[in-house]
Amino acid sequence: MAGQYFDIAHMLAGGLVLLSMTLLYQDRMFGLLNVFALHAVVLSTSVAWQGHIQGAPHLYITALIALVLKAIIIPVALRRMVVRLGIHRTIETVVGVGPTMLLGMGLVALSMVVMLRATATADPLAREDLAFALSVVLLGLLMMVTRRNAVSQVIGFMSLENGLILAATGAKGMPLVVEISVAFSVLIAFIVIGVFLFRIRERFDSVDVAALDAFRGERR
Amino acid sequence: MTFLDLHLPLDALTAVLIIPAAAAVLLVLLPGYWLSARLNMLASLATWLVSLTLFVERPAPSPYLFVDDLNIVFVVLATFVAFTTSAFSASYIGHELEIGRLTPRYLRFYHAMYQTLMFAMNLGLTANNIGLMWVAIELATLTTVLMVGIYRTHEALEAAWKYFILGSVGIALALFGTILVYMAARPVLGEGQDAMVWTALISKAGGFSPELLNVAFVFLMLGYGTKVGLAPLHAWLPDAHAEGPTPISAVLSGLLLNVALYALLRFKMLLAANPAAIAPGPLMVTMGLLSLIFAGFMLYRRRDIKRMFAYSSIEHMGLITFAFGMGGPLANFAGLLHMTMHSLTKSAIFFAVGHIAQAKGTQRIADIRGLTESHPVLGWGLVLGVVAIAGLPPLGIFMSEFLIVSSTFARAPLLAILVVFGLLIAFGALMLRLNEVAFGEPTGSKAPVKASYVPLFAHLALVAAAGIYLPGPLVAWFQAVARLLG
């Protein structure tokens, strides 16, 4: 029975890593949004499953937040945003798809090596969950640095945050998980509102005042 | 605010959190500049006074909040600078309203956010739970993001967005580190509450899995290090300082960076308590030194005066992180002293710079000349502040820098040479710019500006006094804290 529990938890966490890799090579905005919505659904299922096997009903709240906010509201909002800005056909990546995928695989391997070695003494479910979670976090970071477009960077950040929620719920009995996930949802909501209000299209990758001369979103 | 102590069943610790929270709610409701600026000052003063009583009577630690020798220093410093900044902010914001840079609607929002930020910082500093500490630092980040973007110019919004994205990534990494600390603690302290409570963690840290703690510290260092503004992760800091209202620059440099550093120090202590874990020192030393030297060079290329002092903050946070990374009683003592002096001096400089930018109507260094002639009080205030921050004797920063350098010379002469090199580079840049800005033929408006000089000179007086004579009890206190830090 316990083995079966582990398998499903692993399948869901592994699915999240796979979807993170899928996010990396999406070259259409709508495709990106759809994959992200699926990412959030899998996360929500995974959190609910953890709530079930840990006998921790409060995790269902976190699962519900993930489902409603990140699988429905935010993708819909971002889709409208993308249509309004007219950027649904283009995603400029800084690095090509091939190298990005290779880097992604490298990061997954790295997190497996680091986490499995570091958590040799922890219980097996938690340690593998943690290794998957770290992969998702690192892939999210990779996505943020390989994309120019603010919307896809935001998606990268949200997938990173999904990895954190996966880690937090995988850590059995961790207190304040719900509070932390609520705090994170507030952060995410702010980011999305920010994209909406400021119509930010590109990332800001320079440090100096010269780059601040013109608001880059208006220039194109 | 003594009547609070007399009539309400509140301990001082709760009051330090409740006063700013209640004031934030009131400030949302209250209209008008005069009233809200006064209330903002009053609430900040009350919080500071209440925080002072923590020295006398210390409430017992609860699973959520606690006070010990270390964080009391941070709390008192934070509430004091928050109070003086609120006094500066009253006159600064008054001027911004007059020239129409800030509308009354945003004013209400500004004051409410100011107190929310105080609440978040005090919560972060007194949290006994590492999860709660994380939430508090996130809240502090969010409120400052909103305040940086308050002018609604393209530059301000861009700065706010950049700060937001980089800050969020930092915060996310810090959360991963926090989860790993919980994972490390769980086998020893059991599931649930206890494994995230700082006082429980530190007492049992010896039994934690060292591998997990190592990985956790790397994430915490990168995460909270972003918020401290350490070198490769500092990109948000100059923009956020330059584009927001100046009182916020003062609070960011003087306080918020300290809060993030405090979080880092807590986890450093945790690692130090575990003999099998990596020594956290070298990592902090490397990042600190990198920030110090990098910021020193960057100072030369600055054209915006607030941006320049933002780089100077990176330099000093680097130096403080370096001192704490070296560890040992003397270096820790010097680090604490330097942190205090830097908070006081840097916020004083921003007080002066804020009024100067208002008087001249620009932040461009090239357009500000001959300040000591056109605005003698502000000009000399700035000269004094920059002389202090550059580390000239007999002011307070000279003493703390001297202690850092001399304690490093005794243990690692090579590192000490690098520190001195970084300090000299920064010194040269600051003196060069100061000479341009303060002396020579005055340019721009010579009209007097309505300024509040009291906060500026109160800070400078404290820094000067500390350079000449440090009171015995304060030294003893800092020494005790330095030992605590290991």
- Angle, to 10 degrees, between the axis of helix B210-228 and the axis of helix B305-326? 160
Of B132, B173, B192, the CB nearest to A173: B192
CB contact under 8 A, A186 and B154: no
Token pair listed for B21:
């929270």
- Give the span between the Cα atoms of B150 and B153, in whole angstroms: 8
Chain A residues with CB under 8 Å of B155 CB are: 212, 215
Residues 406-445 in B contacting A (C-alpha not used; CB under 8 Å): none
Residue pair B314/B231 in contact (Cβ under 8 Å)? The answer is yes
Structural domain boundaries of chain B? 279-486
Kindly state whether residue A57 falls inside one of the protein's structural domains: yes
Could you read off the pLDDT of B211-238 as tens digits, one per residue? 889 999 999 999 999 999 998 888 899 9
Q: How many CB atoms lie within 10 A of CB B448?
A: 11
Residue pair B189/B201 in contact (Cβ under 8 Å)? The answer is yes
What is the count of residue pairs from A and B with beta carbons less than 8 Å apart? Answer: 126
Domain count, chain A: 1
Helix (H) or strand (E) holding A127: helix A124-146
Determine the residue of chain A that is closest to B211 in CA distance. Answer: A118
CB contact under 8 A, A180 and B134: yes
Chain A residues with CB under 8 Å of B175 CB are: 164, 168, 180, 184
CB contact under 8 A, B172 and A137: yes
Alpha-carbon separation of residue B371 from B110, B353, B382, B439, B444 (angstroms): 30, 11, 9, 6, 10
- Give the span between the Cα atoms of B17 and B15, in whole angstroms: 5
The letter for the amino acid at B138 is E
- Give the span between the Cα atoms of B235 and B388, in whole angstroms: 25
Question: Whole-model pTM?
Answer: 0.90
- Give the span between the Cα atoms of A200 and B272, in whole angstroms: 44
Enclosing domain of residue A80: 2-204+215-219
- Give the span between the Cα atoms of B256 and B121, in whole angstroms: 7
Residue pair A167/A130 in contact (Cβ under 8 Å)? The answer is yes
Q: What is the ipTM of this complex?
A: 0.85
Give pLDDT tens digits along chain B (486 positions): 444 444 445 788 888 899 999 999 999 888 888 888 999 999 999 999 999 988 888 888 888 899 988 889 999 999 999 999 999 999 898 888 888 888 887 888 899 999 999 999 999 999 999 999 999 998 999 899 888 888 877 788 888 888 888 888 899 899 999 999 998 888 888 887 888 899 999 988 888 888 889 999 999 999 999 999 998 888 899 989 998 899 999 999 889 999 999 999 999 999 988 888 888 889 999 999 999 999 999 999 888 999 999 999 999 999 999 999 998 889 999 999 999 999 999 999 999 999 999 888 888 888 888 888 888 899 999 999 999 999 888 888 999 999 999 999 999 899 999 999 999 999 999 999 999 888 888 887 777 777 788 999 999 999 999 988 888 888 999 999 998 887
- Give the span between the Cα atoms of B85 and B81, in whole angstroms: 6
Give the 3-state secondary structure of residue B166: helix
Residues 222-241 in B contacting A (C-alpha not used; CB under 8 Å): 235, 238-239
- Give the span between the Cα atoms of B255 and B261, in whole angstroms: 10
Determine the residue of chain A that is closest to B303 in CA distance. Answer: A209
CB contact under 8 A, B169 and A119: no
Q: What is the DSSP string of B266-293?
A: HHHHHHHT-TTSPPSHHHHHHHHHHHHH
Establish whether the linkage from the previous residue to B394 is cis, with ω within 30° of 0. Answer: yes
The letter for the amino acid at A60 is Y
Residue pair B466/B396 in contact (Cβ under 8 Å)? The answer is yes
Kindly state whether residue A209 falls inside one of the protein's structural domains: no
Kindly state whether residue A40 falls inside one of the protein's structural domains: yes
CB contact under 8 A, A198 and B193: no
Residues 171-200 in B contacting A (C-alpha not used; CB under 8 Å): 171-173, 175-176, 179-180, 182-183, 186-187, 191-193, 195-196
In the block, tokens 């699962």 appear at A63
B59: DSSP letter: P
Which is nearest to B279 in space by CA: B129, B486, B70?
B486
Determine the residue of chain B that is closest to A165 in CA distance. Answer: B176
Dihedral of CA atoms B161, A178, B267, B165 in degrees, nearest 10, equals -10
B205: DSSP letter: G
3-state secondary structure B422-479: HHHHHHHHHHHHHHHHHCCCCCCCCCCCCCCHHHHHHHHHHHHHHHHCCCHHHHHHHH
Judging by beta carbons within 10 Å of its beta carbon (0-12, 13-18, 19+), is residue B271 exposed, middle or buried? buried
- Angle, to 10 degrees, between the axis of helix A2-24 and the axis of helix A29-54? 160
Which is nearest to B486 in space by CA: B338, B315, B291, B280?
B280
